[in-house]
Amino acid sequence: MKRIVFPLLFLSAVLCLLFCATNKSPLPSVAHPDGWREKVSEDFHGTKVLEAGYTSCKNCHGNDLAGGESEVSCFQCHITYPHVSGWTLIGASEFHGNYIRGKNWSMASCQKCHGDDYRGGRSKSSCFDCHPNSGGPEACNTCHGSQANAAPPEDLSDNVSTSIIAVGAHQLHVTFLGGCSTCHAVPASVSQTGHIDESANAEVLSELQWNRTSRTCVTECHSDAQKSYIWNSF
């Protein structure tokens, strides 16, 4: 045996000198082709996954894609896709709505795969499956309001109680006034300047003298000095 082992060791050492030394990649992948991580390569894994799905990856990267026997988790490099398990589970902290809220309501990253019109794009999975209203997820009642109208409840944090300032007497007023424009500048689309901004709360038209501390307005309708009209207590 020894007689064979030594020449074999020698041969592998020579082979390694030849090949290991000429391999310029410092940490070559043992499982995947060289271009696997390079966006410009025709072997890029991202392109393969979007074409053929990631079922085949689960064999080695685990059913949850968190590593499995490969010990390389997809999520060490990707936050959102492959979508995490709670992505479509209402109430889960990982629910996609919560993720979007955390990005100041920007859905631009979703459009990269689901299409500019949200109808599927290269993901072939349409947001309209669950957001069927005109505009899909950009419909005025996706982030606030209900099927009845876009005014809270729900507010932006999914609250429904009228004692919450962001909910308050919205529905009383919307029914009575027939719209939002008495109190707000109304955007024509989600992306209109002045709609979603960095401020913590919604903007109320200045002529109403909305006072967030006393939760009152000063308007012709509320001029009766004997009465105090408190927005979220009625």
Interface of this chain with ligand HEC, residues 209 to 228, rule: CB under 6 A: 210, 212
List binders of ligand HEC among 150-179 (CB under 6 A): 150-152, 155-158, 165-166, 170, 173-174, 177, 179
> What minimum distance in Å lies between the beta carbon of 18 and ligand HEC?
21
> What minimum distance in Å lies between the beta carbon of 230 and ligand HEC?
11
Instruction: Kindly list the distances between the CA atom of residue 25 and the CA atoms of 22, 31, 144, 177, in Å, as whole numbers in the listed order.
Output: 9, 14, 51, 68
Report if residue 60 touches ligand HEC, rule: CB under 6 A.
yes
Instruction: Kindly list the distances between the CA atom of residue 56 and the CA atoms of 52, 59, 65, 91, in Å, as whole numbers in the listed order.
Output: 9, 6, 11, 30
Report if residue 144 touches ligand HEC, rule: CB under 6 A.
yes
> What minimum distance in Å lies between the beta carbon of 223 and ligand HEC?
15
Residues 6+ apart with CB under 8 A from 57: 49, 65, 74
Report if residue 92 touches ligand HEC, rule: CB under 6 A.
no
Among 66, 67, 92, 182, binds ligand HEC (CB under 6 A): 182
Distance CA 136, CA 129 (A): 9
Distance CA 149, CA 179 (A): 9
Among 12, 29, 211, 214, binds ligand HEC (CB under 6 A): 29
| Cβ contact 133:141 at 8 Å | yes
> What minimum distance in Å lies between the beta carbon of 224 and ligand HEC?
16
